[in-house]
Amino acid sequence: MNLRGKKFEKTDIAITGWMAKNGLLLLRMSIGIIFFWFGILKYFEGLSPAEGLAIKTIDTLTFNLLPEKLIIYGLATWEVLIGIGLIFNIFLRETLLLLFLQMLGTFAPLFLFTPEVFHVFPVSLTLEGQYIVKNIILISSGIVLGATVRGGKLVP
C-alpha cells in the first residue's frame, strides 16, 4: 500500500471509529428532538401540520368517542414523552414501546383516508402522505435503538 493509501486507511479507521462511538447517541438524540419538537407543536393550535389528519385519524379509530382537545393533547403528551425518554435515555424499553405504538397509528391514514394521502394511488403521495411514509425511518431507528437496551453497541 502506498503512502496515500495508508493515510486514507488511517483516516477511514478514525472516522468509522468516531461514528461507531457516537452514532447511537446521535441517533437517539436526533429522534428524541424530533418527537419532542413535533409533540410540543401539537399543544398550540394550528402549529402542527399533522394536527388535522391526526385528530381525524384518532377520532375515527376511537369511534368519535373522544373530544378533539383530548385527542390532540394526548398525542402531544405521548410524543413529548417519547422525546424526553430518548433525549435523556430513560425508560428506553417503555419509550420505544410508545414509539412503535405511535407509529402504528401514524400509518392508519394510508388506509383510512387514501385520497388525502395520495395524489395518484399508490405512487404519488401528498405532503401529508410523505409526512406519514417518512416514519419508516423512525421505525428503523427505533429498531436499532432497541438493539441497545441490553448493552448493544456499534462496532467499526
pLDDT, one tens digit per residue, over 112-126 is: 999 999 999 999 999
Q: Is residue 3 in a domain? A: no
pLDDT, one tens digit per residue, over 23-43 is: 999 999 999 999 999 999 999
Give the domain extent around 35: 24-146
**Cβ-Cβ contacts under 8 Å for 135 (sequence gap 6 or more):** 103, 106, 107
- Write b or e for each residue in 7-24: b if 16 or more Cβ atoms lie within 10 A of its Cβ, otherwise e: eeeeeeeeeeeeeeeeeb
Q: Is residue 8 in a domain? A: no
> What's the total number of domains in the chain?
1
Q: Is residue 51 in a domain? A: yes
Residue 119 CA, chain-centre distance (Å), reads 24
Mean pLDDT computed over 88-96: 98
- Burial degree of 3 (CB within 10 A; 0-12, 13-18, 19+): exposed
